[in-house]
A and B are shown apart, each in its own frame.
Chain A
């Protein structure tokens, strides 16, 4: 999957503004960003359901804007809002749509994979928001796609369902599928993805494996201690040196209230997308 200089405008406003991205086969890639950053627009252009105003896009070697049925058969989509008929049960819907695929996953297997066993006979109209998301996920992977797009797949899911979903994604990865997902949840991105792309104002501001995200920012540790009843704070790339010097000059040989903190993934993310970061004081360095 390759994007070069992707541009999408609504009126005068560029929602996606020169976005470049490459995702390799078999990779799990998470697009992370605040609301309105252009995540959904980008993923919809990749899915071939939205037109672009500029740039070059190749998905599975094909331009999605002109892709046909054979391409669609290789791609699975879990979009944010796609609906299902309220009057059908979970099992009925999965059974029906199995007929749209050459080699669908068995319905019972899908229902178990998304944890809807107890709701299999329930009509969609009576499912909770999180349960509907799970059905959407099941429909998205029903046709054994090579590439799966998931737009905020776990919104509304309870923690148990999210863990189950994570397992499902790991299963897809093990089968060699490529996964592109958008999420608000940093832990989800860190847990699932090989690489994370942070998107803000229609551009990718950083692409990196989750534990290397914001490497520059992360190198800066905050050393904090009390001195004469006041809290002192130093931001440094070399906290060890700072500590050594501090201890050497300390009269008592001790530093009351000493903490050394590194920014958490969340702090890194917030500073990347330009939001005011909250200072973390509760960790001893290693980010989650």
Chain B
């Protein structure tokens, strides 16, 4: 009964983190689209905001003779990205941690980086889908001009991707806040709303008090919004930015710093369980 059996043959190494990451992207997408509420909210929110604000303030103009809807599209595109990345992820991860789904991943020895990559992949796909819904509506419903040329489209693309990844990192980080998944969700929503006002999504950023501008400059949304303006607004509008220009270099730097530093911090501090004591 307790005789010692010969040790089994050496085992093949488990699949690489990259292969698991690819599997996870597929799974995360499947799960995302099966949660109807989340799909509707993520996709409808920016669209509804655009419709409401265009109806209320559609006739206004922003500094530099930019029609309000054009100015606002940049902000709402940025908000949408934060919604599908930061907000959706922070909530989802807190829930998965609470109901034990992450425990399963832990005991399977899943590399945290594969889990993050799965989330990031899902965020990029859903963000793309969301923007693919929002932009045609703005273009054909409200005559908002799209990015002027390939250069502007490229700006739009790198800003969107970096913004979504920065939001992903921020989402992973906030999911670790103490409290139940429900309270984390509430905290995230409150933070997101405040951040939207601070970052110049609804109002012109230059109209905000400077302490608000400075607070916003720490977080990715301000830079994401500014980057989106640089893609959607005419060049002359750059003069009305706080810095008097689009600050592409600084935008890329801040967003990339969030992604890289945030990812390192998240990998090192990530917890599969609420308490590991």
List residues of A whose CB falls within 8 A of some B CB: 10, 24-27, 47, 49-51, 68-75, 77, 79, 81-85, 87-88, 92, 96-97, 99-103, 139, 143, 146, 176, 194-195, 209
**Within 8 Å of chain A (Cβ to Cβ): is B248?**
no
A77-B107 Cα distance, complex, nearest whole Å: 7
A-B contact pairs, 28 of them (CB 8 A): A26-B3, A47-B107, A49-B272, A49-B273, A50-B276, A50-B277, A68-B109, A72-B14, A73-B13, A73-B109, A77-B107, A81-B103, A82-B107, A83-B101, A83-B104, A84-B104, A87-B34, A88-B27, A99-B23, A100-B14, A100-B23, A100-B109, A102-B11, A103-B11, A103-B12, A146-B8, A195-B1, A195-B2
A87 and B100 in contact (CB under 8 A), knowing A25-B7, A49-B276, A102-B11?
Answer: no
* CB-defined contacts of A26 to chain B, threshold 8 Å: 2-5
A139 and B104 in contact (CB under 8 A), knowing A24-B4, A25-B4, A27-B2?
Answer: yes
Of residues 155 through 190 on chain B, the ones whose CB sits less than 8 Å from some CB of chain A are none
**Within 8 Å of chain A (Cβ to Cβ): is B110?**
yes
The reply to whether B4 and A73 form a contact with Cβ atoms under 8 Å apart is no
A209-B19 Cα distance, complex, nearest whole Å: 44
The reply to whether B3 and A84 form a contact with Cβ atoms under 8 Å apart is no
B2 contact from A50, A97, A194, Cβ within 8 A? A194
* CB-defined contacts of B30 to chain A, threshold 8 Å: 88, 92
The reply to whether B5 and A25 form a contact with Cβ atoms under 8 Å apart is yes
**Within 8 Å of chain A (Cβ to Cβ): is B147?**
no
A228-B31 Cα distance, complex, nearest whole Å: 76
List residues of B whose CB falls within 8 A of some A CB: 1-5, 7-8, 11-15, 19-20, 23, 27, 30-31, 34-35, 99-101, 103-104, 106-111, 272-273, 276-277
Interface of chain B: mostly helix, strand, loop or mixed: loop
* CB-defined contacts of A81 to chain B, threshold 8 Å: 100, 103
A20-B276 Cα distance, complex, nearest whole Å: 23
The reply to whether B5 and A85 form a contact with Cβ atoms under 8 Å apart is no
Question: Please, which residue of chain B has its CB at the minimum distance from the CB of A9?
Answer: B277
For residue B27, give the distance in angstroms from its CB to the closest CB of chain A: 5
The reply to whether A69 and B109 form a contact with Cβ atoms under 8 Å apart is yes
For residue A14, give the distance in angstroms from its CB to the closest CB of chain B: 14
The reply to whether A87 and B35 form a contact with Cβ atoms under 8 Å apart is yes
A77-B23 Cα distance, complex, nearest whole Å: 21
* CB-defined contacts of A96 to chain B, threshold 8 Å: 23, 27
A101 and B15 in contact (CB under 8 A), knowing A25-B7, A47-B107, A146-B8?
Answer: yes
For residue B116, give the distance in angstroms from its CB to the closest CB of chain A: 16
Question: Please, which residue of chain B has its CB at the minimum distance from the CB of A68?
Answer: B109
Interface centre among A82, A92, A139 (most CB of B within 10 A): A82
B13 contact from A25, A49, A70, A71, Cβ within 8 A? A70
The reply to whether A72 and B19 form a contact with Cβ atoms under 8 Å apart is no
A82 and B104 in contact (CB under 8 A), knowing A24-B4, A72-B109, A87-B34?
Answer: yes
A271-B273 Cα distance, complex, nearest whole Å: 36
For residue B187, give the distance in angstroms from its CB to the closest CB of chain A: 22
Q: A84-B104, A88-B30, A103-B12 are in contact. List 13 more A-B contacts (CB 8 A).
A: A24-B4, A49-B272, A69-B14, A71-B109, A72-B14, A82-B104, A83-B99, A84-B101, A88-B34, A97-B108, A100-B109, A102-B13, A146-B8
* CB-defined contacts of A51 to chain B, threshold 8 Å: 276-277
A69-B27 Cα distance, complex, nearest whole Å: 22
A141-B53 Cα distance, complex, nearest whole Å: 55
* CB-defined contacts of A85 to chain B, threshold 8 Å: 27, 31, 101
* CB-defined contacts of B23 to chain A, threshold 8 Å: 96, 99-100
The reply to whether A27 and B14 form a contact with Cβ atoms under 8 Å apart is no
Question: Please, which residue of chain B has its CB at the minimum distance from the CB of A26?
Answer: B5
The reply to whether A99 and B3 form a contact with Cβ atoms under 8 Å apart is no
B3 contact from A24, A68, A72, A102, Cβ within 8 A? A24
A10-B275 Cα distance, complex, nearest whole Å: 12
Question: Please, which residue of chain B has its CB at the minimum distance from the CB of A79?
Answer: B103
The reply to whether B103 and A82 form a contact with Cβ atoms under 8 Å apart is yes
The reply to whether B1 and A73 form a contact with Cβ atoms under 8 Å apart is no
Question: Please, which residue of chain A has its CB at the minimum distance from the CB of B103?
Answer: A82
